[in-house]
Structure 1
Amino acid sequence: MTPCNQLVVSLQYKTDLIPILKVPTRTITPNFVYVIPDESNPNGRTVYLELTPPPEVMYKTSPGTSQQMNVLGIVIFSATMGLLLGRMGERGAPLVNVCQCINECVMKIINAAVWYFPFGIIFLVAGKILDMQDPSTLGRKLGWYGITVLAGLFVHGLILLPLFYFLLTRKNPFTYIRGLLQAMVIALATSSSSATLPITMKCLLENCHVDRQIARFVLPVGATINMDGTALYEAVAAIFIAQVNDYELDFGQLVTISITATAASIGAAGIPQAGLVTMVIVLTSVGLPPDDITLIVAIDWILDRFRTMINVLGDALAAGIIGHLCRKDFPLSGTGKVKRFIKYNNNCPKILPAPVWSIDNMSEKNNFTGKTSVYVILPHPKTVSPSTGQ
């Protein structure tokens, strides 16, 4: 009943269902009489058919282990641990630092190994092709796989995301997206949402007029955890690999793929082809061979660029939605500029027609608190000219 060690219970534990056949008690068995035509017997041949009810099947649960990782359990445990560590504050900081160091170390190893990927991929793909009886059939399937991924990204990026933006803001989403064209082109070229982050920030501030505070908060977080294009790609890739191996997926396994693809995409880094690393988690969760990832590597370089565009688009639209919903908390959202007010000693305010200040300058020099008016105490009202404001 008790696993041999903590690693087994954390990584390979699963519940086995053992079927138990319950033999029914002997009762009156119904008999059916059939008369079958027979050439030798003009009256036909009589056949007696005895029906036996099927045995009742009962299932008994038993703890066991699997040769594969318990990916879904690991993801849920990791998410819960991360939430609790965030609430612990300074007490959880040492463990958070350890996890960050491990993550940075692994990413450095992956970045070094990426330079050797082309040589290994050539031999892996060549070995898969030699094992196939009909490579042309797989080529057609791979083409349809690429078309399916692009169609899904198109529907998600140009229909669903703009629809959500319109429903929540009541604004034209395509006017907003037009201001993001430069960032999307850079995402297509670099295939990295992290590398596109400065351009995305510039587009939101200058073209889409999103509040600087919101953009600075939403975009870095979105570039880290909001990988909706990657999640869609990993789910389609897992289903494609299952079809290539003639493996039929039931409804529960499809739900598992959806959950693990979403969770794995959150942990994906914002670097080119990072989805291939987290793809192993999705395949392992439903018992598919991770070695078949090499089947999709041949066209992953082009698909990665388009899903990066969707990731960047989702981050930018999320910033626009948050800016609209929080416009009362950030009354200056959309312009980044404020009017400059002067309050005299005699409590007589007057609008000063001087060049406006930006939010950053006010927050740094005048401790801007978020109000729409800023009051500066002057020694005497005569020091300000009513006509020029100087």
Structure 2
Amino acid sequence: MRKIPLLVRIILAITLGILIGLIVPEGAIEVFATFTGIFNNFLIFVIPFIILGFIAPGIASMGRGAGKMLGVTAGLAYVSTILAGIAAFFVSKNLFPVMLGSQTADEMANPEESLVEASFTIEMEPVMGVMAALILSFILGVGMSAIKGDTLYNAMNEFRAIIHKVIEKIIIPLLPFHIFGVFANMAHGGQVGTILSVFSKVFVMILILHWVYLISVYGIAGGLHRANPLRLLKNLMPAYFTALGTQSSAATIPVTLKHTKQIGVKERVADFSVPLLANVHLAGSTITITACAMAVMFMQGQSLGFMELLPFILMLGITMVSAPGVPGGAVMAAVGLLESMLGFSSVMVSLMIALYLAQDSFGTATNVTGDGAITSIVDHFSKDKEKGAYDIKKEQLG
């Protein structure tokens, strides 16, 4: 199973869940519901640790960076991520009533009512709430950056490695079975047709948003360097397709680094910015999570205004800092915010995870390809005296 890409496993889980849910008796669905209930409780238990393990060492490591360049790079990454989420909100807000109009609120309101209940459950109370984990993460991250000590910093990095293993070895392998159970239950309850119709439409819209974002950010980079933005974007396509296969920003760093230097970014700037951006720049993931969350809420007959969703987008840009280089890391970090800030139920979270993971590789590809553009913009504002390909070409042209 490990040799099968996660996207293929998710598609198989959805397909088999629908087929089996239509034909098996309620007793079998009850078994699936029991597993999904236990898994969901485990996920809720782990969420505060995911937040603490990602954010605290991420903020601490950024605080130990190279001063002004760190500030410029991290600032641009955050602005890019937030603007991407805001754009996804407005597009979703205006298009979903047209695209998903046939999926009325009555069709999907309170989906829990038609689902088969678990035969038993195992309570797993989190050791702290989501907001408590966020606040503690900021305190520890800023504190470790300020005192410059290594003891707690090394301990937090080891804690992050443990959480990374929990996600990589337990949560991600079991997610297809969880999604299988959710879709089998919904197919048994007669809701799956509406969900699949929504999935297909939202999937296409998100891909279009990804490419609009990439063209826009490379347009800015090209304008600053007086270079053809489409040529710059074309040169980063190896990184895009590598990310599609690996589903990991971290695993794509060598390819992103190589091709970012080839478009003319100074070597020192690229060596610093690309690895940093792989952890803090998640514009593609933010587009996906924002659009998916709004789609799930639309199916529930819920609607939020811009000022109501903006705090979620702002927190999302921070919560995903240093999300692990494993498939689904971004949405795992976002689950706590979905529950605490948007009031997502366990069924809504399950739909959200399935919808996100179905195109996770495209969001990751957008993240890493966008890293090249952000690095190019950082290069423009860098005072580094080293000459890059942009500078050499200008000298040759006289």
By the TM > 0.5 criterion, same fold?
yes
From 173, 176, 188, give the equivalent of 1:130: 188
8 A Cα contact 1:235 1:261, kept in partner: no
Which of 152, 157, 167 aligns to 1:95? It is 152
Q: Secondary structure at the match of 2:148?
A: helix
The code of the aligned residue for 1:141 comes to V
1:246-278 deviations in Å (ceiling 9; x for gaps): 223244431122122222222422222222312
- State the TM-score, normalizing by the size of structure 2: 0.60
State the secondary structure of the residue aligned to 1:116.
helix
- How far does the alpha carbon of each residue in 1:220-251 deviate from its partner, in whole angstroms, 9 at most, with x for none? 10111111111121111221221222223244
Q: In the alignment, what sits opposite 2:288?
A: 233
Alpha-carbon distance change, 189 to 120 in structure 1, aligned in 2, over 3 angstroms: same
Pairs within 5 Å for 1:373-384: none
CA distance in 1, matches of 2:309, 2:318: 14
* CA shift in 2, pair 1:146/1:176, >3 Å: same
Which residue in the other structure is 2:274 paired with? Answer: 219
Paired residue for 1:317? 373
CA distance in 2, matches of 1:232, 1:335: 31
Gaps of 5+ in 2: 1-47, 50-125, 393-398
Greater fraction strand: 1
Residue identity opposite 2:246 in structure 1: T
Distance 1:256 1:74 in 2: 17
What letter matches 1:225 in structure 2? V
| Residues 60-97 of structure 1: CA deviation (Å, up to 9, x unaligned) | xxxxxxx998645653553354234212212xx32222
Q: 1:290 to 1:336 in 2, by over 3 A?
A: farther
TM-score (norm 1): 0.61
Contact 1:193 1:311 in 2 (8 A): yes
Compute the displacement of 1:198 (Å). Answer: 1.0
Letter in 2 for 1:86: S
Q: Distance in 1 between matches of 2:251 and 2:328?
A: 13
* Residue of structure 1 equivalent to 2:238: 182
1:199 corresponds to which residue? Answer: 255
| AA at the equivalent of 1:293 | V
Worse overlay, 80-89 or 67-76: 67-76
1:257 counterpart SS class:
helix
Q: What letter is aligned with 1:191? A: Q
CA drift of 1:219 comes to 1.0
Q: Distance in 2 between matches of 1:266 and 1:163?
A: 25
> Which secondary structure does the structure 1 equivalent of 2:168 belong to?
helix
1:81-92 matched pairs, under 5 angstroms: 81-90=140-149
CA–CA distance in structure 1, aligned partners of residues 205 and 145 of structure 2: 38
5+ residue gaps, structure 1, are: 1-9, 12-66, 338-390
Could you say which residue in structure 1 is the equivalent of 2:208? 151
**Distance in 2 of aligned mates of 1:319 and 1:245:** 40
Q: Structure 1 pair 308/117, CA: closer, same or farther in 2 (3 Å)? A: same
Deviation, 1:104, is 0.8
Bigger relative CO (Cα 8 Å, ≥ 6 apart): 2
Equivalent residue letter for 2:198: K
**Residue identity matched to 2:146:** R
Matches within 5 A, 1:9-28: none
Q: 1:109 to 1:336 in 2, by over 3 A?
A: farther
Pair member with larger Rg: 1
Q: Is residue 257–residue 271 contact of structure 2 (8 Å, CA) maintained in 1?
A: yes
In percent, how many aligned pairs have the same letter? 23
Match of residue 293, structure 1, among 330, 349, 353: 349
- 2:117 paired residue number: none
Aligned residues: 267
Q: Give the partner amino acid of 1:319.
A: T
Check if 1:281 corresponds to 2:340: no
Q: Distance in 1 between matches of 2:138 and 2:286?
A: 17
Alignment correspondent of 1:141: 198
Structure-1 separation of matches of 2:242 and 2:371: 15
Deviations 1:11-48 (A, max 9, x none): 9xxxxxxxxxxxxxxxxxxxxxxxxxxxxxxxxxxxxx
Q: Distance in 1 between matches of 2:304 and 2:390?
A: 51
Residues 133-152 of structure 1: CA deviation (Å, up to 9, x unaligned): 44322221222221232222
**Deviates further, 247-256 or 220-229:** 247-256
In the alignment, is the contact (CA less than 8 A) between 1:142 and 1:296 conserved in 2? no
Decide whether the 8 Å contact of 2:239 with 2:259 is kept in 1. Answer: yes
